[in-house]
Amino acid sequence: MVKQSIRMDVHEKPPVLQWILLSVQHLFAMFGATILVPLLTGLNPAVALMSSGIGTLAYLIVTRGKIPAYLGSSFAFIVPIITVSQGGQKLGEALFGCFLVGLMYGVVALMVYRFGVKWLDKLLPPVVIGSIVIVIGLALAGTAVDMASKKDVVQALPKTAVELQNLPGSIKSVDPAHETVTLKVYSLEHFGVALATLAISIISCLFFRGFLRIIPILVGIIGGYIIAYFVGLVDLTPVAQAKWFEIPKWTTPTISWRAAIVIVPVTLVVLAEHVGHLLVTSNIMERDLAKDPGLHRSLLGDGLATVIASLIGGPPATTYGENIGVMAITRIFSVFVIGGAAVMAIAFSFIGKLSALLQTIPTPVMGGVSILLFGIIASAGLRTLIENQVDLTNQRNMVIAAVVLVIGIGGAVLKLADIHLELEGMALATIVGILLNLILPGKEPGELRQTTTEIG
């Protein structure tokens, strides 16, 4: 009896060329989301790239190199940062609030260290874990499909309600100053590029041999990029205009207790997100990472990464589902590969042309690979339910799974306006799943089983 095939475990180091390519694959997986957060909040994308790399290396050290996780920009802080920064004028105050969130991680990590993790087995039985993992994979399914099949179109702002209703797509943003509106409109051309990217990734994963088989996402992105270039979706002008070497401009925190009141409550959201991602990674790796190296170390590492980011002007950090999806597909869990991606991110933050080149990757290309990445994570959740023999004919299990799935995938939002806190998607579904598991009668004891596969 041995665990399901692992191509490369956490402390295995690949040959140099393979190491570089595997790390680049993880870099591509996290890049778009990591720089999107600073673009939306007014922070510096180059600093975000740098802080993600430094934070990831700090996380790997704190977790003793036992948890292969890449930490990038957290989307949970977009609204609070915008609220506090007031159009970028008070970014320092927003960073102070983010700094306090990092300290809160440390407080929670200390509590977990003191009281252990056995409470996780009671709060998160397989029916809850499996449902949450499915939510993590499918909550962004709509986003992946939009990335794959829609393009941005700018047109004049409608003058009447009738014209507004007859717009050819959904509204992405409105610019009153220029009297324009940006629409998300279906594009067969974009969808074709996305499907081609997806097909290349699938073919690489299933039919290629040797090293190409373990870098399907990278192969898909490169293939999709080439196709997109000939279709005319790639604009290399930003690369030509970018400098070869440029030192990112740092922003430091400014003490503001108003910012603390607005941003610190988001800790609840990111803690739920962190635990969910750790459970997914544990499930994929078939080992209990909450016990070894410990949930407290994982939380402390995430908190340290957030503190580092806030001190230099980057957005708070979180573990990335995209990179978890890459590991699920490749079965390569080497922390050297993750660390390599972190070092590259730091280097790219100083090399303007390379950073600009990555930003020229068309949205439909990333949408194509995202369909596969998010779907793989959802499949891991289904596997959890199946391998732990969760009985969905049991009314209690059925209710928990049903509510968690609909709230998480449906995008339900709980808004607490007085404290500027929003619980949505995975975070809200996780909390609801835990509460249902605690209050519904008929609970059966049991831990998440470590699954094995018989060989031969």
For the segment 263-301, what is each residue's pLDDT rounded down to a tens digit?
887 787 688 778 878 988 998 888 889 888 999 999 999
Q: Which of 101, 112, 74 is nearest to 290 (CA)?
A: 112
* pLDDT at res. 203: 92
Poorest-pLDDT segment among 178-192, 235-249, 254-268: 254-268
How many other β-carbons are positioned within 10 Å of the β-carbon of residue 255?
A: 10
Would you say residue 118 has pLDDT above 80?
Answer: no
Q: How far apart are CA 196 and CA 367, in angstroms?
A: 11
Q: Are 27 and 345 in contact (CB under 8 A)?
A: yes
Burial of 337 (0-12, 13-18, 19+ CB in 10 A): buried
Checking if the pLDDT of 444 tops 60, the result is no
Taking a C-beta distance cutoff of 8 angstroms, is the pair 49, 313 a contact?
Answer: no
pLDDT of amino acid 212: 73
At residue 3 the predicted structure's pLDDT band, cuts being 50, 70 and 90, is very low
pLDDT of res. 304: 97
Mean pLDDT of 371-384: 81
Instruction: State the helix-helix crossing angle for 16-41 and 78-85, rounded to 10 degrees.
Output: 50
Question: Once rounded to an integer, what is the mean pLDDT over residues 222-251?
Answer: 88
Mean pLDDT rounded to a whole number for the chain = 83
Q: What is the pLDDT of residue 447?
A: 46
Q: Which of 120, 108, 71, 27 is nearest to 302 (CA)?
A: 71
Q: What is the rounded radius of gyration, in angstroms, for the C-alpha atoms of the chain?
A: 22
**Predicted pLDDT of residue 250:** 84
Share of residues in the chain with pLDDT > 90 (%): 31
Cα–Cα distances in angstroms (integers) from residue 322 to residues 157, 177, 309, 342, in the given order: 36, 36, 20, 15
Q: What is the pLDDT of residue 160?
A: 78
pLDDT of the residue at 456: 25
pLDDT tens digits for range 165-224? 777 777 777 777 777 888 888 889 999 999 999 999 899 888 887 777 767 877 888 899
| Total count of residues recorded for the chain | 456
CA 408 vs CA 30, 141, 318, 362: distances in Å: 22, 11, 18, 28
Q: Does residue 303 surpass a pLDDT of 80? A: yes
pLDDT for res 78:
75
The whole-number pLDDT of residue 64 equals: 95
Choose the most confident range, by mean pLDDT, from 7-16, 138-147, 357-366, 414-423: 7-16
pLDDT of residue 224: 93
Is a pLDDT exceeding 80 seen at residue 55? yes
Q: Which structure tokens are listed for 396? A: 């209690």
pLDDT at 40: 63
Q: Which residues pair with 183 in a beta bridge?
A: 153, 171
* Whether residue 45 has a cis bond before it, omega within 30° of 0: no
What was the pLDDT predicted at 321? Answer: 79
What pLDDT is recorded for position 127? 87
Is residue 87 predicted with pLDDT exceeding 70? no
pLDDT at residue 79, rounded to an integer = 64
Q: How confident is the model at residue 418 (pLDDT cuts 50, 70, 90)?
A: low
Residue in the block written with tokens 């993992």: 133
Question: Quick one: average pLDDT of 334-338?
Answer: 96
Most trustworthy range by pLDDT among 83-87, 239-243, 245-249, 393-397? 393-397
Contact 249, 43 (CB under 8 A): no
What pLDDT was estimated at residue 415?
77
- For residue 121, the model assigns a pLDDT of 67
Taking residue 440's Cβ as centre, other Cβ atoms within 10 Å add up to: 13
Which residues are paired to 152 by β-bridges?
A: 184
d(CA 175, CA 110): 47
Strands 421-424 and 170-175 turn out to be unpaired
Nearest to 183 by CA among 197, 193, 173, 192: 173
Q: Write down the pLDDT at residue 75.
A: 75
Percent of the chain with pLDDT over 70: 91
User: What is the average pLDDT across 288-315?
Assistant: 93
HEC string of the chain? CECCCCCECCCCCCCHHHHHHHHHHHHHHHHHHHHHHHHHHCCCHHHHHHHHHHHHHHHHHHCCCCCCCCEEECHHHHHHHHHHHCCCCCHHHHHHHHHHHHHHHHHHHHHHHHHCCHHHHHHCCHHHHHHHHHHHHHCCHHHHHHHHHEEEEEEECCCCHHHHHCCCCEEEEEECCCCEEEEEEECHHHHHHHHHHHHHHHHHHHCCCHHHHHCHHHHHHHHHHHHHHHHCCCCCHHHHHCCCCCCCCCCCCCCCHHHHHHHHHHHHHHHHHHHHHHHHHHHHHCCCCHHHHHHHHHHHHHHHHHHHHHHHCCCCEEECHHHHHHHHHHCECCHHHHHHHHHHHHHHCCCHHHHHHHHCCCHHHHHHHHHHHHHHHHHHHHHHHHHCCCCCCCHHHHHHHHHHHHHHHHCCEEEEHHHCEEEEHHHHHHHHHHHHHHHCCCCCCCCCCCCCECCC
Task: Give me the residue spans of the domains in the chain.
Answer: 16-125+211-380
CA atoms within 13 A on the CB side of 243: 7
Mean pLDDT, residues 52-59 taken together: 96
pLDDT of residue 451: 38
* Tokens 């790997």 -> residue: 60
**What pTM does this model have?**
0.71
